[in-house]
Amino acid sequence: MNIVIRDAGPDDAAGIVAIYNEAVAHGTAIWNERRVDVADRLAWIAARQAAGWPVLVALDPQGQLLGYGSFADFRAFDGYRHTVEHSVYVRADCRGAGLGAALLLALVERAKAAGKHAMVAAIEAGNTASLRLHARCGFEPAGTLRQVGAKFGRWLDLSFMQRLLDELPPR
């Protein structure tokens, strides 16, 4: 599939909303139950970018938004300053075509360029497609927290995976 990955802009908010809201309504990749609107995602994009964090989008040759991804601080304490946590979401009808890997690897490159040491993924433990995707992209299992979330009337387990991005000492 021929795609373009670039930084998100305001015109991408509606496509991000559609993907996000589909995941909220039908899946466990997002543990929110509240759908968002374009104003919400415009504010989210602006806040991420103002803080220096990337929001990337994947587009087909016609300019249709097929997926998006971002990363930000893993935790807000100084000791975690070298670690980021990412999210990648792909439109339901485009999954399995390599878009998730392309977005994830683009985020890895951005994190390396930003001088980050580790990237963390927090994945619903039953999401085998995402677990496999991360393993293919160099992430390793780092543990599972049992029953820490709930959605659709059931408990959810959270699996962590991580990828080290460099071998440098802490700064």
Angle at 7 between CA 4 and CA 11, to 5 degrees: 90
Say yes or no to pLDDT of 170 above 90.
Answer: no
Residue 149's identity, in one-letter code, is G
> CA-CA distance, 17 to 38, in Å (whole number)?
6
User: What is the DSSP-derived secondary structure letter of residue 74?
Assistant: S
pTM given for the model: 0.95
Query: Tell me: the pLDDT tens digits for 104-135?
Result: 999 999 999 999 999 999 999 999 999 999 99
Name the band, by pLDDT with cuts 50, 70 and 90, for residue 169. confident
Number of CB atoms found within 10 A of residue 102's CB: 21
Name the residue among 113, 13, 105 with its Cα closest to residue 121: 105
Query: Tell me: the pLDDT tens digits for 39-57?
Result: 999 999 999 999 999 999 9
Say yes or no to pLDDT of 1 above 70.
Answer: no
Query: Tell me: the pLDDT tens digits for 134-167?
Result: 999 999 999 999 999 999 999 999 999 999 999 8
CATH 3.40.640.10 fits 4-164, yes or no: no
Query: Tell me: the pLDDT tens digits for 81-101?
Result: 999 999 999 999 999 999 999
Q: State residue 126 phi and psi, 5-degree precision.
A: -85, 0
